[in-house]
Structure 1
Amino acid sequence: MLDWNKEKLDEIGATITTQEISQQPKLWKETLSIFKENEAAITSFIADFKKEMGQKVRVIFTGAGTSAYVGDVIKPHLTRFGNAEDFIFEAIPTTDIVSAPYAYLKSEVPTLLVSFARSGNSPESVATIDLANQLVKNIRHLVITCAPEGKLAQNAKGDSSSLVVLMPELSNDKGFAMTGSFSCMTLTALLTFDQTHTNHEELVTAMVTMGNQVLAQEELIQSWIDQKFDRVVYLGSGSLSGLTREAQLKLLELTAGKITTAFDSSMGFRHGPKSFVDEETLVFGFISNDVYSEQYDCDILEEIKGNDIAAKTIAIAQNTTSYTGEKIILTDDVVLPDGYLALPFVMVAQVVSLLSSIKVGNKPDTPSPSGTVNRVVKGVTIHTL
């Protein structure tokens, strides 16, 4: 499908989503360039706040839906590879903060709120910033968004306590499901806060190489989609456990729930959720590049394969894996740490979702024709605190 002509893609309602998945490797290069242009301003903004406070700063990664899952991916990575002496990293969705602000916002703790947003117009995202300003004594805002005209970007204009970093123009996805917006915002946050992996050019070049390899292996992915299945599970550890939620959401969104999904950590899946697996289930495991975590990722896949309870059990890995079953291998000499590895890996899940959407007769660009689920959430009432 990824190389079908525009006429065919228009016919099946997949033109926008196909393009937005395919262009991500190019956008990652552009994202790195944008980061370099803004690096001095970002560094100064964060360093000045840290110096002014003279104590550890709480960094909350927040957003709604897919934008929240950015935090789920980067938080484990940055807890290990970020500046733990100066920052406490947390990932809290705006949807949690807005509905129970006193449970998540601490008045006396200096806080850098990092807001991720495709459109910047989600009511919860706007309200979270307002609540943080109301409840937190010392607050700063780093807004990473794809839409210069969105409310988050516009509201931050002229505000010395806020800094806006705009993503590539084409990352402002026009399709229903977030793809390039997710991966570009994730990459920007990693480049900003990862203090260990500073070989940015090498990392992004490897990501681009592997992202393009995903597109080149569409035929293999299609062979899995041709199987009889109506359930899909994604498993992983650390940052890749965080990625499982975004992976399953793409499938849920693009098939409008016609395929049932589940996600879990590699270790957690045995504790009840494994009951979800039956003979019409595809199980995907994201394999960590951490040699310790990789053992657990492979153990659960081997177990499910050995139980012979799933339609297929498939590993997604870089360069190699000890898993003996079916797999898709992406290769590069630069071994990516898991936070960065998540981005070529999510492209596999995106292609799975796209092809599955076509299989069940949906139009990926408009998978919810009833309008009950919207590209930008509607019907939210923000109550006065």
Structure 2
Amino acid sequence: MFNMTTEALEKKNALNTATEIHQQPDVWKELVAKLSDQEDELNQFIQSIYDKHEHVRVLLSGAGTSAFIGDTLVPLLRRENRGNIQFDSAPTTNVVSNPEDYLQKDVPTIMVSFARSGNSPESVATVALGEKIVDDFYQVVITCNKDGKLATNIKGDANSVTILMPDQAHDKGFAMTSSFSCMMITAYTLFTDNTFDENAITAAEKLIDALPEKIDDILGYDFERIIYLGSGMLGQLSHEAALKMLELSAGNVVAVYESSLGFRHGPKSILNETSMVVVLLSQDPYTRKYDMDILREVAGSESDMKVVALTEASDAEVEKLADWTIPVSSVSESLSGDFHLALLYAIVAQTLAMKKSLQLGITPDNPSPDGSVNRVVQGVTIYDYDE
């Protein structure tokens, strides 16, 4: 995998992370089949709530990477759903400290909890706050762990449903990889009428085979800062891409994110001769114009920094501007929208972070062996909330 033997990955404590990135196309196949089998049951559950109320709020929530699933999906869900359904995203880490800012008593709410373990204290507390504050409260738990508190706490609750990810998606490594993409596919399938484009699976298989050589070439540049840029849902995905690098490099690489247009408004100050800018180019022709403008701008800098462009297919202009261009899809048909591009871009960001971690002599499966950062967060005190 990734131009490394299993023995080498195991020795460097990277086997779990590498496996969990590499396996994603296969796990997606299993997940899509599973969701198809559950389609009628899940649709009936959601539709019964929609039918019961004139207005329904769907609040997508999680902590860390799990929160970024909601952030990435909300622009798409708002565009593709009818007006009486309100989609919002809020990290559990915000809801717990300021519940009245995020939970509305008189607004019927479906809380969608994304969780790898289902045991993060903020995630469990957010549900408890929802039950306490919101009059008409429903739950969808999308998790990798059937034994986690989020899943076990709603057994027998007619107003709640749990959707379990394939067993392989329950990442053993520190960073969320398979779990992130699988939970995102699940919410997309549940809350849109769109069929998952299985061309994305074929594209991912080919991408993973071709990616290692390109990533190894990029790592010939010893960057100390990385900036991910994108627009719309890809701008939100850039948050997750930056976090992967920050986590797996144990903070040795400064990793930030911004929207393509927002970057000029101050954040551009971060650029120096050790920087790498990664532009996530949209498939949408209108949005792509703005992504291309920032690509031209950063590519035209006289600094020694480098630029990477992620795009769906080969593009001569992009290749001329960027130091490295990664076309993520080699299938003949165009993918159906930026959602599917986001899944492929995530694989690139995950792989780059893992390989950078190895280059720095860090162990990706446990980049923080001193315990300062943990796979399931520790050290959180949850206080009683009194309305």
Confirm or deny a common fold (TM above 0.5): yes
Confirm or deny: 8 A CA contact 2:29 2:201 kept in the other structure: no
What's 1:125 paired with? 123
Confirm or deny: 8 A CA contact 1:38 1:165 kept in the other structure: no
Q: Which range is displaced more, 308-317 or 352-361?
A: 308-317
Give the letter aligned to residue 125 of structure 1. Answer: S
Question: Once the 2 structures are TM-superposed, how far is the Cα of residue 4 of structure 1 from its aligned partner?
Answer: 2.1
CA distances 1:154-199 after superposition (whole Å, capped 9, x unpaired)? 111111111000001000000000000000000011111123x33x
Confirm or deny: 8 A CA contact 1:6 1:15 kept in the other structure: yes
Q: 1:209 aligns with which of 203, 207, 210?
A: 203
Confirm or deny: 8 A CA contact 2:143 2:151 kept in the other structure: yes
**Equivalent runs, 1:1-385 vs 2, <5 Å:** 2-53=2-53, 55-81=54-80, 83-195=81-193, 197-198=194-195, 200=196, 203-321=197-315, 322-323=317-318, 324-325=321-322, 326-331=324-329, 332=331, 333-385=333-385
- Give the paired residue count: 379
Question: For the residues of structure 2 that align with 1:117 and 1:37, how far apart are their CA atoms?
Answer: 22
Confirm or deny: 8 A CA contact 2:199 2:335 kept in the other structure: no
Confirm or deny: 8 A CA contact 2:21 2:347 kept in the other structure: yes
CA distances 1:341-378 after superposition (whole Å, capped 9, x unpaired)? 11111000001001100111100011001101000000
Give the letter aligned to residue 61 of structure 2. Answer: T
Give the letter aligned to residue 185 of structure 1. Answer: M
Question: For the residues of structure 1 that align with 2:296 and 2:304, how far apart are their CA atoms?
Answer: 12
Give the letter aligned to residue 347 of structure 1. Answer: I
Give the letter aligned to residue 104 of structure 2. Answer: K
TM norm structure 2 = 0.95
Question: Once the 2 structures are TM-superposed, how far is the Cα of residue 13 of structure 1 from its aligned partner?
Answer: 1.2
Considering only aligned residues, what root-mean-square deviation do their CA atoms show, in Å? 1.2
Give the letter aligned to residue 128 of structure 1. Answer: T
Question: For the residues of structure 2 that align with 1:207 and 1:235, how far apart are their CA atoms?
Answer: 24
SS of 1:58's partner is strand
Consecutive unaligned residues of structure 1, counting only runs of 5 or more, are none
Question: Once the 2 structures are TM-superposed, how far is the Cα of residue 340 of structure 1 from its aligned partner?
Answer: 2.2
CA distances 1:43-62 after superposition (whole Å, capped 9, x unpaired)? 11111111112x12100000
Question: Once the 2 structures are TM-superposed, how far is the Cα of residue 211 of structure 1 from its aligned partner?
Answer: 4.7
Query: Which 4+ stretches in 1 moved above 3 angstroms?
Result: none
SS of 2:300's partner is helix
Confirm or deny: 8 A CA contact 1:206 1:334 kept in the other structure: no
Question: For the residues of structure 2 that align with 1:133 and 1:152, how far apart are their CA atoms?
Answer: 13
TM norm structure 1 = 0.96
Distance 1:211 1:348, change over 3 A: farther
Question: Once the 2 structures are TM-superposed, how far is the Cα of residue 77 of structure 1 from its aligned partner?
Answer: 1.1
Question: Once the 2 structures are TM-superposed, how far is the Cα of residue 37 of structure 1 from its aligned partner?
Answer: 1.5
CA distances 1:293-326 after superposition (whole Å, capped 9, x unpaired)? 1111111111011123352111101014442323
Percent identity among equivalent residues? 43
Distance 1:310 1:246, change over 3 A: farther
